[in-house]
Structure 1
Amino acid sequence: MSDVLQGLVELLEPTEINENTFRGETQDLGFKALFGGQVMAQSLSSALKTLPEGDWHAHSFHVYFMLAGTVTDHLEFEVDRLRDGRSFCTRQVKAMQNGRAILTMICSFQQPEEGFEHQAPMPEVKGPEGIPSQVELARMFRDYFPEKVRDIYTADKPIEMRVLDPVNIFAPTKKDPVKFLWLKADGTLPDDTDLHAKLLAYASDFNLLPTSLHPHARSYGQKGMQMASLDHSVWFHRPFRMDEWLLYAIDSPNAGSGRGFCRGQVFNQKGELVASVAQEGLIRYREPEEKS
């Protein structure tokens, strides 16, 4: 396991304050606000710590982002134990920063169970071999990034992501609102189902909302763009490993009223659909004011 991956694993493990409250630290990824995927994964981690004895696994969570978080202040996670059943457990998590709620999550956990099965087919796309990672691309265009975030954007990452037909974020052109990327943790991980779920929760927030900008020839790298996640949901369908390549197939079927809606399907290399994702976010463009 690389040092950056070990650091992420530790970051996503909040410290227990009491049986229902946990404290988490933050990380600066060079964005204007705290990365939502981090808060989601820490919230899920906090809920997992409150489950009763048994073989429980996360099967879904649903999040609303209410306020932008900062990268300079710690977080507190308050867990409400809504229900402990024989087959399902439900938790509500409130992520707090400086006394204000910045995120709420409802998450559900299930005991293993056999049942009917079907799934959507995996898209036929090029495998991950030979595709440059997002970090490699960032390093190629290092001088285009603002100096204050240049080192952050070009640093080693705990989750490697390889995008097929990537957008030039500095000069985007119109294209269909679809995106395919391969992702994998940078190192071998233990056989811990909860850890793999937390890491996918974290990674699922990358690359999603920008897909809704493809038909409009805009990107988050342009001045005048205002983007923020509003809500986010993940459903875990089958076991998976984050230290093996996963295909993240994203599409955006709608944009309007200043919002973009995106969906994601996550497949392993055997073609199994292991998770589904949905997100709506703010996508506003304001013409930058000319300096006098």
Structure 2
Amino acid sequence: MSRPTLVKPPASLPHHSRIEDVLQLLPLTDVGPDIFTNARPLWHPPGARGIFGGAAIAQCLSAAQFTIPAQEYTVHSMHCYFVLAGNSEIPILYHVERVRDGRSFITRTVQARQRGRCIFTTTISFMRTGSGGERTVDHATRMPSAEECPPPPTGSETDQDKIYGDDQSPFESVRCAVKSGSKLEPQDKVLRQWIRARGRISDCPPNVREDEILRGQRLNQPGDNHQAHLSALAYMSDSYFVGTVARVHNLMRFANKRNIERTLKSFTGSDEEKQAMREYLERIAEEEAAENEGVQPDDRRIDMMVSLDHSIFFHNPRAFRADEWMLTEMQSPWAGDGRGLVVQRIWARDGTLIATCTQEGCVRLMQEKEIKL
């Protein structure tokens, strides 16, 4: 009988944030070296073909980080491919291969497998801190001004109404208004949102044994847990990513109630879970309707929209906290032949450029003749 984890999920540690619980891995030393598995079931977004892609990205990064000297090396890039849709009802095994350990760079590949089949693969490169030397070439794209994107909520009850993400979600976001009614071409539109992990990510390094934590040893050591912030950023980097292609073309997926009912028809969960899904989809529908107010409706319908590959370039991997507001900016320079490309930049609240991400996805419209992936 299938189950979402190999072992019963461990109890949440009192100092862990929601996203740390979501991304927790367990080493499978009895199975083999450098093999890990998800400690908890993974989220399957409503209407998606499989698990949330950000979970596979982040957990592969976490698995690779277990195999490097954490204080000496930090990730600077990862290049990923989504091979098959992940099944949220089946455990995932993460196999790490130690490709190279150099003096300045370390390379790892990670495969995520279910029932022996690869569903996701990535190559990750780590760089020794400070190995670039004292004299460097420096420049960075500037963060948009407050006129282009208002600051995130400050904490008042009114401001909190603008935040998306309930207590069960590991992160929350605030979308900036999009002037979709303008005459901008799809490739010229820019979509922005503020995003952060919910709660506070602990200062305890992720690879410390739980018995040490429970005895109060090595708890809350400042600066030890930058890896958790990097994994959290990797998780959130997949939020509304390939969907940018649909948004810049004003293609609405759930504003049509028939699409919501069509999605719910295939749902197999409990009545309570189904109602939660309905509310989630209706919330997305409200967002789509507000974003496309005053725009001539587009009668084209999306048949398939899935991620194919995902890359992250970490520019300042130790200069941010993923549980503080970060600004993301997304733009699609090209779409065609049933695919679309999106580029994303992420800044810390102080304007530091944290990362640049790219994603290509399969974006297919309803056709008279069925096309299979």
Partner of residue 257, structure 1: 337
1:163–1:181 contact (8 Å) kept in structure 2: yes
Alignment equivalent of 1:133, drawn from 163, 168, 171: 163
Partner of residue 16, structure 1: 27
Partner of residue 121, structure 1: 142
Structure 2 gaps of 5+ residues are 1-11, 154-158, 204-222, 260-300
Q: Within 5 A, what are the aligned runs for 1:68-217?
A: 68-113=85-130, 114=133, 115-124=136-145, 125-129=149-153, 130=159, 132-135=162-165, 156-165=168-177, 177-189=189-201, 190=203, 191=223, 192-217=225-250
Q: Distance in 1 between matches of 2:245 and 2:341?
A: 7
Q: Distance in 1 between matches of 2:107 and 2:306?
A: 27
Q: Distance in 2 between matches of 1:54 and 1:288?
A: 56
Q: Distance in 2 between matches of 1:56 and 1:9?
A: 21
Question: What count of residue pairs does the alignment treat as equivalent?
Answer: 265
Q: TM-score, normalised by structure 2?
A: 0.66
1:210–1:219 contact (8 Å) kept in structure 2: no
The amino acid of 1:132's aligned partner reads: K
Q: Indicate the SS of the match to 1:243.
A: coil
2:76–2:126 contact (8 Å) kept in structure 1: yes
1:2–1:186 contact (8 Å) kept in structure 2: no
Q: Indicate the SS of the match to 2:103.
A: coil
Q: Percent identity?
A: 32
Q: Distance in 2 between matches of 1:187 and 1:166?
A: 28
Deviations 1:194-241 (A, max 9, x none): 000000000000111111113322144364521111000001111211
1:20–1:78 contact (8 Å) kept in structure 2: yes
Taking structure 1 as reference, are residues 22 and 2 closer, same or farther at Cα in structure 2, changes over 3 Å only? Answer: closer
Q: Distance in 2 between matches of 1:274 and 1:50?
A: 23
Q: Indicate the SS of the match to 2:230.
A: helix
Q: TM-score, normalised by structure 1?
A: 0.83
The amino acid of 1:257's aligned partner reads: D
- The answer as to 2:68 corresponding to 1:51 is yes
Deviations 1:83-118 (A, max 9, x none): 001111000000001211001100011111243221
Deviations 1:228-260 (A, max 9, x none): 110000011112111211000111111111111
Q: Distance in 1 between matches of 2:329 and 2:198?
A: 20
Q: Indicate the SS of the match to 1:91.
A: strand
Alignment equivalent of 2:80, drawn from 52, 58, 63: 63
Q: Distance in 2 between matches of 1:53 and 1:252?
A: 35
Q: Distance in 2 between matches of 1:13 and 1:167?
A: 39
Partner of residue 143, structure 1: none
Partner of residue 320, structure 2: 240
- Deviation of the 1:53 alpha carbon: 6.8
Larger Rg: 2
Partner of residue 265, structure 2: none
Q: Distance in 2 between matches of 1:166 and 1:159?
A: 22
| Runs of 4+ deviating beyond 6 Å | none
Q: Distance in 2 between matches of 1:217 and 1:211?
A: 10
- Deviation of the 1:30 alpha carbon: 3.0
- Deviation of the 1:166 alpha carbon: 6.2
Taking structure 1 as reference, are residues 69 and 167 closer, same or farther at Cα in structure 2, changes over 3 Å only? Answer: farther
- The answer as to 2:53 corresponding to 1:39 is no
Q: Distance in 1 between matches of 2:368 and 2:170?
A: 34
The amino acid of 1:109's aligned partner reads: F
Q: Indicate the SS of the match to 1:229.
A: strand
- Deviation of the 1:177 alpha carbon: 3.5
- Deviation of the 1:184 alpha carbon: 1.3
Taking structure 1 as reference, are residues 120 and 167 closer, same or farther at Cα in structure 2, changes over 3 Å only? Answer: closer
Partner of residue 280, structure 1: 360
Q: Distance in 2 between matches of 1:2 and 1:132?
A: 30
2:82–2:309 contact (8 Å) kept in structure 1: yes
The amino acid of 1:255's aligned partner reads: A
Deviations 1:153-178 (A, max 9, x none): x664221100012699xxxxx97542
Partner of residue 27, structure 1: 42
